[in-house]
Every structure is written in structure tokens, then in C-alpha cells.
Chains A and B, each alone.
Chain A
Amino acid sequence: MSQPNRLPGRGLVNRDRPVSFTFDGREIAGYEGDTIASALLANGEIMVGRSFKYHRPRGIVGAGSDDPAAMVQIGSDPASTDPNVMVTTREIHAGLEARPQNCWPSLKYDVGVLNDVFMRFFPAGFYYKTFMGSDRFRWLNWMTFEPFIRRAAGLGKSPTKPDPDTYESVNRHCDVLVIGAGPAGLTAAANAARSGARVILVEESERLGGSLNATDPEGTTIGGKAPADWIAAQTAKLAEHPEVTVLTRTTAFGYYAMNFVGLIERVSDHLPEHRRDRRQPRQRVWRVRAKQVVLATGAIERPLVFHENDRPGIMLAGAARSFLHRYGVLAGKRVLVFANNDSAWQTAFDIRAAGGEVAGIVDMRRELNEALALRALKAGIAVYPRTAIVGTHGRHRIDSAFVSSLDDSGNVRGSRSRIECDLIAVSGGWNPNVALFAQSRGKLKWDAEMASFRPGLSWQQERSAGACNGTFELQEVLAEGSKAGLEAARAADFTVRAVKQPEVETSVVQSLNLVPVWQVPSGQPREKTKAFVDLQDDVKASDLQLATEEGYDSVEHAKRYTTQGMGTDQGKISNVNAFGIMAEARGITVPEVGTTTFRQPWRPVTIGALGGQHVGAHFMPRRGTPMHAWHREQKAIFEPVGDWLRARAYPKPGESFHDAVQREAKAARTTAGILDATTLGKIDIRGKDARTFLNRVYTNAWSKLAPGRCRYGLMLGEDGMVSDDGVTACIADDHFHMTTTTGGAASVLQKLEDYLQTEWPELDVWLTTVTEQWAVAAVCGPKAEEIVAAVVDGIDLDPEEFPFMTWQDGTAGGIPVRVFRVSFTGETSYEINIPATYGRWLWEELVAAGKPHGLTPYGTEAMHLLRAEKGFIIVGQETDGTVTPGDLRMDWAVAKKKGDFIGKRSLSRSDTIRDDRKQLVGLLTNDGDHVPMEGAQIIGTPEEPAPPVPMLGHVTSAYFSPNLGRSIAMAMVKRGGQRMGETVWIARRGDKPVPAKIVHYDFLGDAVGEGA
């Protein structure tokens, strides 16, 4: 618990609040403000896990979201455990439990390390070549190997139980969104805020200040203030503006079209259980639509690619400074700096100034910055110019590095010597963090001085400022930040005047003088060189070179072949190095190689957070009718129909679903049944051209339908295929009430609006959806008239006076009702429409009135059965978008003589008039107890012949009919209309085909024996 590497008086962690947590089962001490990484380093630990493929030890490399492979599994609860959490970004708290990943039985002794021993047998594309393409393994297939490979390779373990945490997503509009709260972002936000604009400032970590937190607090002043004081002053300024929102612990993970930016806020991950506010979600996704965006996302250091560069203890030079200044931790006891540029020298200076031991600066450049060399000399730091690290030693942490000097062409010259060190602080240069810029579809520009990409041409309303724009000198960073903030506010139509920016004084190295190096020579043959580019996916420089030789010229193909840049880190520190190595291998420039696509998300986002509050019952809210609560009280079984939940059946206690359906369907024909038909789509059609309109949208004629009458209609698409059906009533000459299928209500209305607005704007017709305005109870059966008469007043219900396919207005308990004498069962039926708020009242009145008559509520399953007995189609069950009215043998519903209607011309297309089309028929199986499977194929022979089997058609509906005492089925059969009485066979999987006779589909009518 001694934290031997924690330096007194340094760092920004809260020394008054010690915090301990567990890692790999051991208790680790740290302070509030520590990440897992800084606390581990304070305790002298650097190895965190094992790599994906070779199970090589992996340590801490970065200090923020750049780290490639130092990931842990958080927690052990199978519901809330969180895999692949970066130790460099996760703040510690009491009770935090972190475990290493991808190692067994333990971190230090891991069986999978055998993969490492055989590494040279696992070149790029190994799995593809060996298990998918090779003749030797043809006797086995990929599926055999895949599970084993998956088990050996991998990262953390996914939770296996439903996520117990809550998440939310919020929408927000703003004028200026500033991403990144380093010196550039803070300045941009402060300047934009002065205009009064709505500003959102987003910072990924818990602390504002960015790179200023990772710099020597005594080396820099801004306007005479120490960095921390300047940050505090900027923060205070922002707090004065009520329109400014500052979000910390928030990552901008995706930049989408039209300045739509996704943010993920980690609300309570950093708090121990007892301090979490249960009213707050664990994480929150902000969906921000910004008028203007300022990108101030900083830069990411890239390592040098050298032999044995993946051992724990090899860290980015900037990360070592970050651990020192932000967390007060010396990442190593004896630090060797390895670089090709000036910036890493600062690490040596800072560690030396903090009392740490510096083993030396190994610099590959031929010409060094003289001022820096002098500074190193004064500090007593050994400098090795034109030298490279050509190897390292140490199993779970490096203990020494091997260096060789280089000749004029950059090759290894002479023998290697050994330098003892437990940390190599490495820098190969800096890559502006252009991920969000590239996601916004901006165009990158190659910067030869930095040997990296920077923002070039913007596509969206954004601008980059500071290091992410390739600007590293603090004075210029502030100027750019200020300019970006002002410009963004002005572009969002705000007025703001520029103010003078503070003067910066600093002794921090700000020069780069980079000599690009993509791969450090090792003095050894390629196959023996283990120079890692991608530390997460175990991609070596040699893998990229092999891929290039094998012809993977496209950078996107090479990525997929080698796995370079894949995984949870998406190649943050490695991609530019990889492009450089590919460019060298092909003898072209890096911009000619190009880049892989920067995709959202910038950093992994919890799926639960993206789901937000839209889970469980909120995933897809269901509509219920006014009678829904009654159905629930009766313990009905429900089914989703379109957006609705409808009662499917009302089983009595102890009754099976099947028995309930049989009972309900029987009652509807023998006594009376009642159905909640509220969900039918209802469209109110008005205007003097309403009749003309109906003539054009339905297949049949509407010119003569008198007020008070109803008619069934088929609606087609322009392709001539049935798209919907329903009954429409004429209320008055210029007023109709259309019903549609439950699922088709919205699409029919859209289609009708489309034709009215775009094709026939001259028609005087107005459409209003009234689906929700009416509740509908349909009472059918021999007793229906008596039951309805007890509830409805003002209508003579005698079928003589109130004939089929008419409607009448009446009242129920004084409330106006409209009753339609239409039927979907073939029985005498009354569909009573009442204003929706009275729906449940009416329903209960009818149920009470029907009780002495045996009125039985029936659900959608019995409804389907009853309509099939009568041979009524269901659009979407008998039809599938390839069925014409002729195919349904419903030519009676098509008016040949009236004018044009939607789909009319298609009914005479060569394909629709073929005489061998499938047609709707009824099927009676020879065995009346056998109910065929819906969807089953129909064949013409008693035995199933060898494939390809000639298919005659398929079963569309099949039920056991309680009223006929046998099974019935509807089917689409080739030339079905001409096959009455023929026997066909219904194929079954693994069983003999079932013989059935083709009949007319009205099983109740006289047509049962038609054609026999």
C-alpha cells in the first residue's frame, strides 16, 4: 500500500481521499482522481493483460483513450460486468474490481502463450490460408476450427444476464459545440460563449485543461498565471454564461451528417455503489445537433516500431509526462527515452527534474537540436545520437534495452550494447486526432513536416483548432482556439468582438524537428523481427509487408487481411505507422497509400447507452383499444397486430389455447360472439369528388352506392397486386367512411394522400384518419340481433328492415352510435361504432346484455378461423404482394367497364393474364383430423420425387373448424380454379405427403362440392 512511485507534492489527484480497489484479486491503493493505470503505476505495476492472438504480456502504453491494449474486465456480476475497459480512462473508486483479460490460469502464467511460441507459423492471413483455402485441411471445415480459434483469441467476456443499469438519451440543439477542453477548446468555448450563443463544451476526462494537465506546472505561464490557475479562470468565465453547458466524462463518439454529434456521458461509472444517485442513469447519450462545431481533440502520440517493442514497460513519452504531472507518478524507476523528434526530450527533462533516474536519450536523428542537447548535458542525461533500440529484454516488464548506432543510410552499424531500464518512453511523432474530422467527411491533408495527416477541406460546419489541427505551440494554440470560437459563433449568427489573448511563457519543448521513421531497423532478418505495429491485434510490421507482397495494395484490404487497426482501439496509435510501413514496402508515399475509413464510434460505447430508455416495454410501445383493460382483466392472450396489441383468445382457467379458440368459434356461430374490432383502420373521406376518388382507388364501381349502403373493395398497387381490402360506407354523396386492414391503416392513408396530393390535386377530397375516434364492438351469431337490441336504441334491427351491407345511426345510453351490418364471419353481424371514450362502457353493456344468450368474447384467432370457414381472405396471409384479384378468383370485385383505377393496366399485362398462375382454392385433407401446416408446399404426386420437386403451390391458412368438425385449409395452387375435385399432396418435412382435395374456399356455402 506504499505507492512507491508516487511523488510527494506532484500531481492533481486528491491526496486527502485515499481510495483502494482490487486488481487481479489484490488490493491496490490510490487517490481520488487516479485512473486504474495511474494507481497501478504508482504501485510499480505495469502489466495489465495478454494480447489478443499471441497472449503476449501487455502493459500500459498511453495515458488516456489512446491506449491500445491495457484493458480489464470490471466487476464479476454476470449482469453488470463490463469487458474491455481501458485502465487509462477508468477512474478508481472504492469497491472497484478489475481483472485481467484473455489469460488463463493467471496473468503471469498463461497457457495461451503457446501461440506466442509458434508465432512465426501464424503469419498474416494464417487462418484464411490454413483453414479455408488449403487442400490439406479440406477434410475439415472452417466451422470445426472456428470455436477453438475464438476461444484462444479474444478480449473480455460479455455479460450473460440482462443489463441491470439504466441509461437515457437526450436530444439537444446548440449553436456551438466544442469538442475537447484543452487549451484550444477552453479558449474556443470562452470566446464563443461571450457572444451569448448556446455553447456545449465536451471533455472526455473528469478534468478540464487537456494537455495543460500533463505539463510541468512550473514550466509554463499563461497571462502570468500557472496553467491550473488559467484553467480555473477559464472555467469560471464559462460558468458566468447561462447558455453554456460543460460536460466532463463525456466523449464525442460519432460525427454524423449535418452536424449531428453523438456524445456519451459516463454519469456514475466513477462513483462507488453507495454514492450513485439512483435517479440518474449510469450513462447518458446526448444527441446533439450543432449549428457549428469546433474540434479541439488534441493529438495522439505514435510509437516507434522496433524489435520487441511490445513488452510492458514501453510507454509513449507523452503518457509518461502525463502520469508524472497529472497523477504525480513516476512510471519507471530508470527511464530510457527513444525518439526521432524533439518533443520526447521533455520527458527526460521532466523525469530528471522530478528526481527520477534517466538512463539516457536514444535518438535516431543524425542532427540534434543543439539547445536541447545542451540542456541534456546540463541535466546530466546521456544522449545517444544516430542510435536505435534494436531489442529489449524482460518477461513481464522490460529490464534492459539493446541499442546500436546507425550508419548514414539508417542501417544498424556495429554491435549492440545493453542499457538497463525499466521504462522506455518512446515517441515516433504526433498524429493530429482527426477521427471526428474524418467522420464528418472532411478531407485530410498530408503534412510532410509532421509526417502525418491533418484536417484539409471541411465538408460540414466545423473547424479544427490546436493540436488536432497540427498546431502545437501553446501561443498559437490559444490564438487558433480563440479564432475558432469567434468564427463559430459568428457563423451561427451571433456578434462577438475579439479580445486580446494572454501571453504564453514556457520552457517546455515545443519544437518537433521530426525525421520520420516507420520501422526501426533491427539488424536481423524480417522473420525474426518482432516489431509490433498494432499492440491490440498483434500485427507486426512483417505482417503488413507480407500482405503487401501478396498483393494487398488497397489499405482497406490490407486492414482486413492483417487485422491492423481493428478491435476496440481502432488503431489510434498504430494506423499512421502502418500506412507508413505499407508505403515503404510499395515504394510510394503515405498519402498515396491513403487511410482506412475513420468510423464511428471513436471509442467503444455501451450498447445499453445507445438503447437508452427504449428497452423492454418502451422498445416498441404498443397501442391498446379502449377495451384493452377489459381484455387484460379476462386474462386474454394477446398478439401484436401492426402497432396494436389485440386479444388473441380468452382461455378459461385450465383451458388450453386451442380449446379456447374452438369454443369461441363455435359460440360465434351457434349463439353469439363479440369481437373488439376497434383496430380496423378508419378513414373519413369528404368532398364533392369523393366518389370519383373511390372509383380510382378501388377495383370496383362506387358511382351508384347510395347513402346508407356499404360495399367491400379491393385496393391494388400499380403493379396490379392486391395491397389492401375493406368495407367502405356511403354516409352522404360527398362523405364516405372507409375501413382498412389493421396493419395497413397507415400505409393506405399515405398512399391515398400521395395520389390526392401528387396525381389528382384537382379532386376536391379530404382525408382524415378516424381510427382512434371510434371504438368498435362486433356482435355476430344467431342471437346477435337480440343482444344488440337490448343496448342500441333508435334502430330496427330486424334483418328485413336493416339488411346486410347497410348502416344506420342510433344511440346507446344516449350516446350516438353508428351500426354497420357487415360481416367477416358469414353470420348476421352488427359492428357498433361509438366515440372511443365510451368503448369500454359499450363493450360491458353488450357483454351484460349477452350473458343470458351465451354471448362469448372471441379473439383474433377465432376471428381468423371463422373467416376461413366462410372463405374470406386476409390480405397478407392469402396474399403476399404477388397476388391479383383474378388469382384470388375475386374477378367479381373488379369493374371492367368503369374508368381507370390504380393497378388497372397491370391486370392485362402478359404476366398477370397467364393461365397457369396460382389461384386461391380450399383444401380438404382426406384425413379430416389432420391440420396442414401453413406455408407447406403442395405437390402433384403421392410421393415426394427427387429434387428439384415441381411445386404446385402452398397452404396459406389452415385450421381445425369446430363448426364443420374437420380441418380446412386455403391454398394458392397453380391453375387452382380449374382443378376442383382434384387430389393434391401437401409435403411434410421428414414425413409422407398428405393427400387433400381441392374445393371452393367457401366451406360454409354450397360450393363445398363444386367441381366434384
Chain B
Amino acid sequence: MFVIDCPNCGSRDQSEFTYAGEAHIARPTESENMTDAEWAEFVFMRTNTKGLFAERWWHATGCRKFFNMLRNTATDEIHAVYRIGEKPPKVTANLPLTPAGESSIGSGNDAVKIMTRDEENAS
């Protein structure tokens, strides 16, 4: 269970929020001119990102406002929270990725349970 820093209400438990899918997908305004494939792309297709992901949340039992969030889906680390209409802020990905696309710590994946020699030497 996360704690989410609502831009209006501050830190609240995840149970107050509803997930609302991928962010920054604008509804096409001239859909009548789109092909079926283009329209289907908007209606059905979403990325399934492992790593930094921009998504929308709704503070259902708080301010009832939608907002955007940058979350690492592999580790659940929340990098930024920002309002609807705002561009995603630049965040420094402070975690290098392993060849498997896994964060080097925090993901719970088998590959990252034990420190490597290099990590031991660096720490």
C-alpha cells in the first residue's frame, strides 16, 4: 500500500485513491477523420511499461480531483505528482537498470536480491 502525495490534500493512504490508467493520452478531437486502426490505438492500446510510467490517479474519497503521477512500476517508487494539464517533470532516474530491465534494487525480482561484487566494492 503506497502513500500518495495528493497535490491538493497532501499525503494520504492509497486506499483513498482510484487508479485511472495511463496519463497523457488526449482524446482525439476529429475522430471522424481517423481510420479504424488509428481510433483503436486510442481506445484500446496502452503501454505496459516496466519502469518509469506516467499514470493518472483520482482522489476518490478526498478532493475528487484527477492528477498525474510518475511511478516506477517495477519498484513502486513514486517520483513525482503533478496536476492534469501539466507536463511530466524531468526526474533523475537514480537507479540504473539491469539487463533484464529491472531496477537494480527494490523490485523484489530474483536477480536483485543479493548484492553483486561490484556493488559491494562501490559501497
Q: Which of B1, B36, B110, B120 lies in contact with A445, CB distance below 8 A?
A: B120
On whether the beta carbons of A759 and B64 are closer than 8 Å, the reply is: no
Tell me the nearest residue of chain A to B58, going by C-beta: A750
Tell me the nearest residue of chain B to A717, going by C-beta: B43
Task: Give the Cβ gap from A624 to chain B, nearest Cβ, in Å.
Answer: 21
On whether the beta carbons of A905 and B39 are closer than 8 Å, the reply is: yes
Q: Given the interface contacts A441-B106, A445-B114, does A757 sit within 8 Å of B84 by beta carbon? A: yes
> Does B40 make an interface contact (CB < 8 A)?
yes
Q: Which of B27, B84, B120 lies in contact with A456, CB distance below 8 A?
A: B120
Task: Give the Cβ gap from A407 to chain B, nearest Cβ, in Å.
Answer: 33
Tell me the nearest residue of chain B to A590, going by C-beta: B114
> Does A507 make an interface contact (CB < 8 A)?
no
> Does A754 make an interface contact (CB < 8 A)?
yes
Which residues from chain A contact B13 at a C-beta distance below 8 Å?
289
Which residues from chain A contact B123 at a C-beta distance below 8 Å?
456-457
Which residues from chain A contact B27 at a C-beta distance below 8 Å?
718, 759
CA distance A409 to B78 in the complex (A): 53
On whether the beta carbons of B42 and A718 are closer than 8 Å, the reply is: yes
Which residues from chain A contact B75 at a C-beta distance below 8 Å?
441, 459
Q: Which B residues from 64 to 123 make CB contacts under 8 A with A? A: 64-66, 75-76, 84-85, 105-108, 110, 112-115, 119-120, 123
Q: Given the interface contacts A257-B76, A753-B58, A758-B84, does A457 sit within 8 Å of B1 by beta carbon? A: no
On whether the beta carbons of B105 and A457 are closer than 8 Å, the reply is: yes
On whether the beta carbons of B66 and A445 are closer than 8 Å, the reply is: no
Which one of A554, A591, A904 has the highest number of Cβ atoms from chain B below 10 Å of its Cβ?
A: A591
On whether the beta carbons of B40 and A257 are closer than 8 Å, the reply is: no
CA distance A457 to B40 in the complex (A): 44
On whether the beta carbons of B85 and A905 are closer than 8 Å, the reply is: no
Which residues from chain B contact A453 at a C-beta distance below 8 Å?
114
Q: Which A residues from 881 to 932 make CB contacts under 8 A with B? A: 900, 904-906, 909-910
As a 0/1 sequence over residues 455 to 485 of chain A, the CB contacts with chain B under 8 angstroms (1 = contact) are 0110100000000000000000000000000
On whether the beta carbons of B84 and A761 are closer than 8 Å, the reply is: yes
CA distance A500 to B73 in the complex (A): 44
> Does B60 make an interface contact (CB < 8 A)?
yes
On whether the beta carbons of B112 and A443 are closer than 8 Å, the reply is: yes
Q: Which A residues from 841 to 858 make CB contacts under 8 A with B? A: none
CA distance A909 to B36 in the complex (A): 6
Which residues from chain B contact A759 at a C-beta distance below 8 Å?
26-27
On whether the beta carbons of A444 and B1 are closer than 8 Å, the reply is: no
As a 0/1 sequence over residues 738 to 781 of chain A, the CB contacts with chain B under 8 angstroms (1 = contact) are 00000000000010011001110100000000000000000000
CA distance A257 to B26 in the complex (A): 32
On whether the beta carbons of A457 and B119 are closer than 8 Å, the reply is: yes
CA distance A453 to B114 in the complex (A): 9
Which residues from chain A contact B58 at a C-beta distance below 8 Å?
750, 753-754
Which residues from chain B contact A456 at a C-beta distance below 8 Å?
114-115, 119-120, 123
Q: Which of A256, A438, A905 lies in contact with B1, CB distance below 8 A?
A: A256
> Does A503 make an interface contact (CB < 8 A)?
no
Tell me the nearest residue of chain B to A769, going by C-beta: B64
Q: Which B residues from 41 to 61 make CB contacts under 8 A with A? A: 42-44, 56, 58, 60
CA distance A459 to B112 in the complex (A): 11
> Does A595 make an interface contact (CB < 8 A)?
yes
Task: Give the Cβ gap from A618 to chain B, nearest Cβ, in Å.
Answer: 17
Which residues from chain B contact A761 at a C-beta distance below 8 Å?
84-85
Tell me the nearest residue of chain B to A591, going by C-beta: B114
On whether the beta carbons of A757 and B115 are closer than 8 Å, the reply is: no
CA distance A591 to B76 in the complex (A): 26
On whether the beta carbons of B32 and A594 are closer than 8 Å, the reply is: no
CA distance A556 to B109 in the complex (A): 12
> Does A584 make an interface contact (CB < 8 A)?
no
Q: Which of A257, A595, A718 lies in contact with B114, CB distance below 8 A?
A: A595
CA distance A909 to B42 in the complex (A): 13
> Does B20 make an interface contact (CB < 8 A)?
yes
Which residues from chain A contact B18 at a C-beta distance below 8 Å?
750
> Does A258 make an interface contact (CB < 8 A)?
yes
As a 0/1 sequence over residues 993 to 1010 of chain A, the CB contacts with chain B under 8 angstroms (1 = contact) are 000000000000000000
CA distance A595 to B108 in the complex (A): 12
Q: Which of A256, A597, A750, A757 lies in contact with B113, CB distance below 8 A?
A: A597
Q: Given the interface contacts A753-B66, A910-B36, does A904 sit within 8 Å of B108 by beta carbon? A: no
Task: Give the Cβ gap from A175 to chain B, nearest Cβ, in Å.
Answer: 14
Which residues from chain A contact B105 at a C-beta distance below 8 Å?
441-443, 457, 459
Q: Given the interface contacts A443-B119, A459-B105, A719-B44, does A257 sit within 8 Å of B2 by beta carbon? A: yes
As a 0/1 sequence over residues 1 to 31 of chain B, the CB contacts with chain A under 8 angstroms (1 = contact) are 1110000000001000010100000111101
Which residues from chain B contact A260 at a C-beta distance below 8 Å?
1
Tell me the nearest residue of chain B to A905, going by C-beta: B31
Which residues from chain B contact A441 at a C-beta distance below 8 Å?
75, 105-108
On whether the beta carbons of B31 and A900 are closer than 8 Å, the reply is: yes
Interface residues on B, range: 35 or more
> Does A494 make an interface contact (CB < 8 A)?
no
CA distance A39 to B31 in the complex (A): 78
Which residues from chain B contact A597 at a C-beta distance below 8 Å?
108, 110, 113
> Does A712 make an interface contact (CB < 8 A)?
no
Which one of A289, A441, A597, A718 has the highest number of Cβ atoms from chain B below 10 Å of its Cβ?
A: A441
Which residues from chain A contact B106 at a C-beta distance below 8 Å?
441, 459
Q: Which A residues from 547 to 606 make CB contacts under 8 A with B? A: 554, 556, 591, 594-595, 597
On whether the beta carbons of A446 and B114 are closer than 8 Å, the reply is: yes
CA distance A459 to B104 in the complex (A): 10
CA distance A128 to B65 in the complex (A): 53
Q: Which of B1, B28, B31 lies in contact with A258, CB distance below 8 A?
A: B1
On whether the beta carbons of B31 and A904 are closer than 8 Å, the reply is: yes
Q: Which of B44, B66, B120 lies in contact with A757, CB distance below 8 A?
A: B66
On whether the beta carbons of A444 and B110 are closer than 8 Å, the reply is: no
CA distance A258 to B36 in the complex (A): 43
Q: Which of B3, B66, B113 lies in contact with A443, CB distance below 8 A?
A: B113
CA distance A910 to B37 in the complex (A): 10
Tell me the nearest residue of chain B to A592, going by C-beta: B114
On whether the beta carbons of A594 and B43 are closer than 8 Å, the reply is: no
On whether the beta carbons of B39 and A909 are closer than 8 Å, the reply is: yes
Task: Give the Cβ gap from B63 to chain A, nearest Cβ, in Å.
Answer: 11
Task: Give the Cβ gap from B5 to chain A, nearest Cβ, in Å.
Answer: 11
CA distance A617 to B56 in the complex (A): 34
On whether the beta carbons of A445 and B31 are closer than 8 Å, the reply is: no
CA distance A621 to B20 in the complex (A): 25
CA distance A609 to B9 in the complex (A): 32
As a 0/1 sequence over residues 286 to 297 of chain A, the CB contacts with chain B under 8 angstroms (1 = contact) are 000100000000
As a 0/1 sequence over residues 831 to 873 of chain A, the CB contacts with chain B under 8 angstroms (1 = contact) are 0000000000000000000000000000000000000000000
On whether the beta carbons of A257 and B1 are closer than 8 Å, the reply is: yes
CA distance A444 to B120 in the complex (A): 10
CA distance A91 to B44 in the complex (A): 58
Q: Given the interface contacts A591-B114, A754-B20, does A906 sit within 8 Å of B65 by beta carbon? A: no
Which residues from chain A contact B43 at a C-beta distance below 8 Å?
718-719, 906
CA distance A989 to B42 in the complex (A): 42
Tell me the nearest residue of chain B to A595, going by C-beta: B113
Tell me the nearest residue of chain B to A718, going by C-beta: B43
Tell me the nearest residue of chain B to A438, going by C-beta: B113
Which residues from chain A contact B56 at a C-beta distance below 8 Å?
758
Q: Which of B64, B66, B115, B119 lies in contact with A758, CB distance below 8 A?
A: B66
The 4 A-B pairs with the shortest beta carbon distances in the complex, nearest first, are: A905-B31, A456-B115, A459-B106, A445-B115
Interface, chain A (partner B; CB < 8 A):
256-258, 260, 289, 438, 441-446, 453, 456-457, 459, 554, 556, 591, 594-595, 597, 718-719, 750, 753-754, 757-759, 761, 900, 904-906, 909-910
Interface, chain B (partner A; CB < 8 A):
1-3, 13, 18, 20, 26-29, 31-32, 34, 36, 39-40, 42-44, 56, 58, 60, 64-66, 75-76, 84-85, 105-108, 110, 112-115, 119-120, 123
Q: List 8 A-B contacts (CB under 8 A).
A: A257-B2, A260-B1, A443-B115, A757-B65, A759-B26, A759-B27, A905-B28, A909-B39
A-B contact sample (9 more), CB < 8 A, given A459-B75, A594-B114, A909-B36: A289-B3, A443-B113, A445-B115, A456-B115, A597-B110, A759-B26, A900-B31, A904-B31, A905-B28
